[in-house]
Structure formats: structure tokens, C-alpha cells
Structure 1
Amino acid sequence: MYIHLGGEKIIRSSELVAIFDISIEKSSKISKQYVNHAQQQKHVEMIGEEEAKSIVVTQNTVYYSPISSTTLKKRANQFVANA
């Protein structure tokens, strides 16, 4: 199954590790360090030109998505329920 992250970006649901609200960058030092490390390794991708509302972590990449974390979690849960 696949999850649409916004724009033209779609990932396999099996690649999904976590979905976070964008506010986690400000409230969690560990999350900020993780994203900074991913940026240094060039494993961060901005989706679209809209302001990011969520951070999606996959096995290989960190995505900044313009879709809210609540909506993305609902999409991910639909696939889990149907599996």
C-alpha cells in the first residue's frame, strides 16, 4: 500500500517509521538533532512549496509535508486496518 504525503510524493506504507507534527522540532532537542543529522547526510526532502505541517520519517528519508500529521496518520491507519 502507499501513502500520499502531498504534492507528487507517495511512499510505500512499509517504509513509514513515524509521523510528527512540525512543532516537534521546537519542543524536542533529540528530534531536532535527528533532523539536523539527516540534513547533513542529504536525506531530507521538502514536499511542495507550501509551509510544512508535519515531518514524516521513513527508513531512508525525512520528509517535510504540507499535510497535517493528523491527516497523514489517518491515511496510514487506513492501510493498517485494511491489511
Structure 2
Amino acid sequence: MLKEIVGVFDLDTSTVSADTKRFLKESEKNGTTENAVLELPKSFVLTDDGKVIFSQISTASLMGRV
């Protein structure tokens, strides 16, 4: 099944919000996160099925690829 991208978010700016921190923590606890990085992530992608995918690629580069 093809996943639709809901949003691409910068980790430095989006994790300032307590709501985002709580969402990411719950996603990790629920097992709906995927780590696609070998280094520290720069961004994360949220898909329509609730999956959070961490990436070491910047949001600008990711947006240029979709």
C-alpha cells in the first residue's frame, strides 16, 4: 500500500513544542517510528498511517524529492 506524506518536519524547530515532543514519545512507545539514519536525524516524515520516519536529510532536501 502506498503511503501518503502528511508532513515533513525539521527536528530542531518542531521539537520546541511540548505537543510534538509528546507525540514523538508516544509514537516511539507505540512502535510506529522508523529510524532511517546512521547519524543524528535532522527531520522526520509523518505518513497517513501514523508512521514517523526519522531522516538525516534536511527538510528542504526532502521536500525537493517529493
Aligned residues: 63
Aligned with 1:47 (options 36, 44, 47):
36
Identity of aligned residues (%): 29
Using CA pairs under 8 Å that are at least 6 residues apart, name the structure with larger relative contact order, 1 or 2.
Answer: 2
The 2-side partners of 1:28 and 1:55 are apart by 15
Q: TM-score, normalised by structure 1?
A: 0.68
**Which ranges in structure 1 are unaligned for 5 or more consecutive residues?**
1-11, 77-83
Deviation at 1:51, TM superposition (A): 1.5
Q: TM-score, normalised by structure 2?
A: 0.83
Q: CA RMSD in A?
A: 1.3
Structure in which a larger fraction of residues adopt strand: 1
SS at match of 1:36: helix
SS at match of 1:37: helix
Deviation at 1:48, TM superposition (A): 2.6
Residue of structure 2 equivalent to 1:63: 53
Residue of structure 1 equivalent to 2:21: 32
**Which ranges in structure 2 are unaligned for 5 or more consecutive residues?**
none
Counterpart of 2:45, as a letter, is V
Counterpart of 1:73, as a letter, is M
Q: Which runs of 4+ in 1 moved over 3 A?
A: none
